């Protein structure tokens, strides 16, 4: 076995190992609620330098560099495809300042930190400093979701990461080309002309491919639906290859511009394209990071001295805060938001991938300390991700920028049933929001003092007004079965299908009206429709919230509440889970049960235990005319 490992796994087995390690690390991070990049780093180091199972240079040979380059190109294209300028909302001014002022300032500050703290040469520092503009779009999103940050600072951090992603790559390309020119002996005029032609060609090629090759072709129906994703993918590869042939590494700029043009073309097929890029990015981010970690030379890492620690400290405590505070100087943003953004700058896989790529190229070009860029990038990413992964939530609460820790419920549909349900949850200090596209349906919840949103929950106005990250569960319960199904189907990929529930459809039991199982949300309440729940309320049924204890368990609740219809369970952390069947429901001490009780069970005595509580719902509002 040792001989086989020493001889290498072979490309096929190595590809399989990269996939299993990368995706497996991301899944494990999701289960453990940890930053995925930390686990990918640990797994890559384990199978690479640790056990010697995967050595990219041995198992893939000369293909390693091109594979990483193509993967980074797709990742940056995904960043451009996320730049829908219509979705900036009230963060537009701050994002503009962080990009137009913050990116050059960040480049300068990072370069100074690399020169004076890390001890790099100006050549290597200028290239690496450009890459450090990137703040990790693949890392910031899960961190923000975990911290449950308020909408505006979350938008600023997320959009800064997305927009600066390609800008950092472009800055690195420019600096790298200048370094190559200095080492090649070309004249200044010739070098500037080569750069201008290459950058102009890359931008024009990306814009043309995005508009004419994809947007217009898709809009005119020149490409069938089943071929849109393949056509998009091969166009992306072709644009990257052609641009890269004109100016080395300019393909990264071309594919980013292409993604930006497509994102703002208002294509009806953008949902499918976004799903493709999300899936592709998960796979490629996993693969790139495992490859880079497995190919890391531990001897180079061991050579890092106190300067590496000084460099990380200078970036976190000096370069990042100075960049953000100067960029946002004079804006209307509250000082708390500015300070929070200044202290938040996690770096991610794009930084590591691009830094590793350019570090190798600089070393090949004769820049002696270019090989130090890769290890420094790993140290910076590991430090910032671990730091922010464990401190972002507490820091957001300290600055008063975090929502409630309890995951809330977003109810789509205003009615007597949803109003009484929301009132009971609100009394238990759980955040609830009721939305409805029909203004009249919101009269009752507004009269009850509940939070409401008038409009389509799937519309652009909702994206600017509703903080989806603060709601862990969605209930689609309007009087329109088709709209409920549309809402549940659309929100399920974003929030997770296990968190999206739908009230039963009126004609679900009729074969002509039965929909495929993959459409809609999860059922609850024993398959009762909205009309059935409303009838129960008319008959005098009322909501009751009961906490289970060691002395008052689920069996006691069933015995004391005959005929009760369990609606949902609330665990100790406030997470909600609707109940499909009361008879098969499972609940542990410490959890709460929200149920509808018939009139005869509402006054049933409860075992008088101090820790057990049976909280009545607020009195239902009188029927509206």
The model's pLDDT over 370-410, given as tens digits with 9 standing for 90+, comes to 888 888 888 888 888 888 877 887 888 888 877 655 678 89
Q: What is the edge-to-edge ordering of all strands in the sheet holding 471-476?
A: 451-454, 432-436, 408-412, 471-476, 500-502
- The answer to whether position 602 is within a domain reads yes
Does 50 map to a domain? Answer: no
The set of residues, in sequence order, having a beta carbon less than 8 Å from that of 176 and lying 6+ positions away, is 127, 248, 249, 358, 361, 362
Packing angle of the helix pair 36-45, 373-398 (nearest 10 deg): 150
Confidence of residue 411 (pLDDT cuts 50, 70, 90): very high
Q: Could you tell me if 240 and 268 lie in one domain?
A: yes
Reduced to 3 states (helix: H, G, I; strand: E, B; else coil), residue 583 is coil
pLDDT class for 592, splitting at 50, 70, 90?
Answer: very high
417 and 526 together in one domain: yes
Both 193 and 234 in one domain: the answer is: yes
Domain harbouring 468, CATH code: 3.40.50.720
For residues 235 and 261, state if they share a domain.
Answer: yes
Average pLDDT, the chain: 81
Beta-carbon neighbour count of residue 528 at 10 Å? Answer: 19
State residue 1's pLDDT score.
Answer: 43
Please tell me the predicted confidence (pLDDT) of residue 2. 43
**Residue 622, domain member (yes or no):** no
For 3, 54, 295, the CA distances from 7, given in Å and listed in that order, are: 6, 11, 16
- Pick the range with the lowest mean pLDDT from 137-146, 387-396, 426-435, 542-551: 137-146
Domain assignment of residue 88, yes or no:
yes
Q: State the average pLDDT over residues 480-506.
A: 86
Distance CA(111)–CA(376), nearest Å, equals: 13
Which are the contacts of 140, defined by CB distance < 8 A and separation ≥ 6?
157, 158, 161, 346, 348
Within-domain flag for 150: yes
User: Which of 463, 464, 407, 457 minimizes the C-alpha distance to 434?
Assistant: 457
Is 55 inside any structural domain? Answer: no
**Does 614 or 23 have the greater pLDDT score?**
23
Q: What pLDDT score does 622 carry?
A: 44
Query: Beta 471-476 vs 408-412: how paired, if at all?
Result: parallel
The domain that holds 143 is classified in CATH as 1.20.1530.20
Q: 507 and 555, same structural domain? A: yes
Q: Do the Cβ atoms of 564 and 604 come closer than 8 Å?
A: no
* pLDDT over 60 at 128, yes or no: yes
384 lies in the same domain as 285:
yes
Give the pLDDT confidence of 229-274 residue by residue, as tens digits: 888 889 999 999 998 888 766 787 788 888 888 888 877 767 667 7
Percent of the chain with pLDDT over 90: 17
Give CA–CA dist 381/294, Å, rounded.
Answer: 16
Quick one: 390 and 433 in the same domain? no
Report the pLDDT value the prediction gives residue 567, as an integer from 0 to 100: 92
Q: Are residues 344 and 428 located together in one domain of the fold?
A: no
Give residue 171's Cα distance to chain centre: 25
| Average pLDDT of the segment spanning 350-360 | 76
- Grade residue 508 by pLDDT with cuts at 50, 70 and 90: low
379 domain-assigned: yes
Dihedral of alpha carbons 512, 475, 157, 291, sign? negative
- Print the domain residue range for 157: 73-398
Per-residue pLDDT, averaged over 490-503, amounts to 84
**Within a domain: 30:** no
Shared domain check, 434 and 352: no
Contact 85, 264 (CB under 8 A): yes
Region 149-178: what's the mean pLDDT?
76
Q: Kindly give, in sequence order, each residue whose CB lies less than 8 Å from that of residue 554, ignoring residues fewer than 6 positions away.
A: 548, 585, 586, 587, 593
Mean pLDDT of 567-576: 85
Total of domains in the chain: 2
Query: What residues contact 523, with CB distance under 8 A and at least 6 apart?
Result: 501, 502, 504, 580
What's the sign of the alpha-carbon dihedral 349, 351, 355, 357? positive
Residue 176 has pLDDT above 70, yes or no: yes
Task: Check whether residue 434 and residue 301 sit in a common domain.
Answer: no
């Amino acid at each position: 076995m040792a001989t086989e490992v020493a001889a290498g796994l072979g490309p096929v087995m190595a590809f399989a190992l990269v996939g299993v390690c990368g995706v497996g690390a991301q899944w494990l991070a999701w289960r453990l609620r940890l930053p995925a990049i930390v686990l990918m780093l640990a797994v890559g180091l384990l199978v690479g330098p640790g056990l010697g199972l995967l050595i990219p240079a041995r198992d893939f040979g000369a293909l390693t560099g091109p594979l990483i380059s193509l993967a980074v190109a797709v990742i940056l294209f995904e960043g451009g495809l996320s730049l829908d300028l219509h979705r900036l909302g009230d963060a537009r001014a701050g994002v503009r300042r962080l990009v137009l002022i913050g990116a050059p300032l960040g480049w300068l500050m990072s370069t100074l930190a690399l020169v004076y703290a890390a001890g790099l040469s100006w050549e290597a520092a200028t290239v690496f400093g450009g890459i450090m503009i990137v703040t990790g779009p693949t890392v910031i999103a899960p961190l923000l979701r975990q911290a449950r940050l308020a909408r505006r600072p979350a938008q600023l951090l997320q959009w800064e990461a997305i927009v600066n992603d390609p800008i950092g790559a472009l800055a690195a390309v420019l600096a790298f080309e200048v370094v190559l020119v200095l080492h090649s002996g070309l004249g200044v005029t010739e070098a500037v002309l080569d750069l201008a032609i290459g950058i102009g060609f890359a931008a024009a090629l990306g814009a043309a491919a995005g508009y004419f090759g994809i947007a217009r072709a898709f809009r005119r129906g020149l490409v069938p639906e089943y071929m849109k994703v393949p056509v998009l993918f091969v166009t992306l590869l072709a644009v990257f290859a052609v641009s890269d042939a004109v100016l080395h590494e300019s393909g990264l700029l071309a594919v980013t511009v292409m993604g930006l043009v497509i994102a703002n073309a208002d294509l009806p097929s953008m949902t499918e394209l976004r799903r493709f890029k999300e899936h592709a990015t998960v796979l490629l981010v996993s693969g790139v990071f495992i490859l880079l970690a497995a190919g890391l030379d531990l001897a180079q890492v061991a050579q890092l001295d106190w300067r590496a620690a000084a460099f990380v400290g200078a970036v976190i405590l000096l370069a990042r805060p100075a960049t953000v505070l100067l960029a946002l100087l004079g804006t209307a943003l509250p000082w708390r938001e500015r300070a929070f953004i200044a202290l938040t700058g996690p770096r991610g896989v794009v930084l590591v991938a691009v830094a590793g790529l350019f570090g190798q190229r600089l070393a090949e070009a004769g820049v002696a300390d270019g090989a130090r860029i890769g290890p420094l990038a790993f140290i910076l990413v590991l430090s910032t991700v671990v730091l922010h992964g464990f401190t972002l939530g507490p820091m957001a609460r300290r600055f008063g920028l975090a929502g409630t820790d309890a995951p809330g419920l977003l109810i789509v549909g205003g009615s007597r049933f949803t109003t009484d349900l929301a009132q009971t949850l609100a009394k238990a200090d759980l955040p609830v929001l009721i939305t409805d596209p029909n203004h009249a349906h919101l009269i009752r919840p507004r009269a009850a003092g509940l939070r409401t949103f008038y409009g389509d929950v799937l519309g652009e106005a909702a994206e600017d007004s509703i903080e989806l990250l603060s709601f862990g569960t969605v209930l689609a319960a309007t009087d329109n079965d088709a709209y409920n199904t549309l809402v549940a189907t659309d929100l399920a990929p974003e929030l997770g299908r296990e968190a999206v529930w739908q009230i039963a459809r009126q004609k679900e039991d009729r074969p002509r009206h039965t929909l495929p199982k993959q459409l809609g949300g999860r059922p609850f309440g024993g398959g009762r429709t909205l009309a059935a729940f409303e009838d129960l309320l008319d008959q005098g049924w009322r909501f009751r919230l009961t906490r289970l204890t060691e002395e008052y368990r689920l069996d006691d609740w069933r015995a004391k509440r005959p005929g009760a219809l369990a609606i949902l369970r609330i665990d100790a952390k406030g997470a909600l889970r609707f109940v499909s069947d009361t008879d098969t429901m499972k609940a542990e001490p410490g959890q709460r049960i929200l149920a509808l009780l018939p009139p005869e069970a509402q006054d049933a005595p409860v075992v008088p235990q101090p820790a057990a509580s049976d909280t009545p719902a607020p009195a239902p509002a009188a029927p509206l005319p």
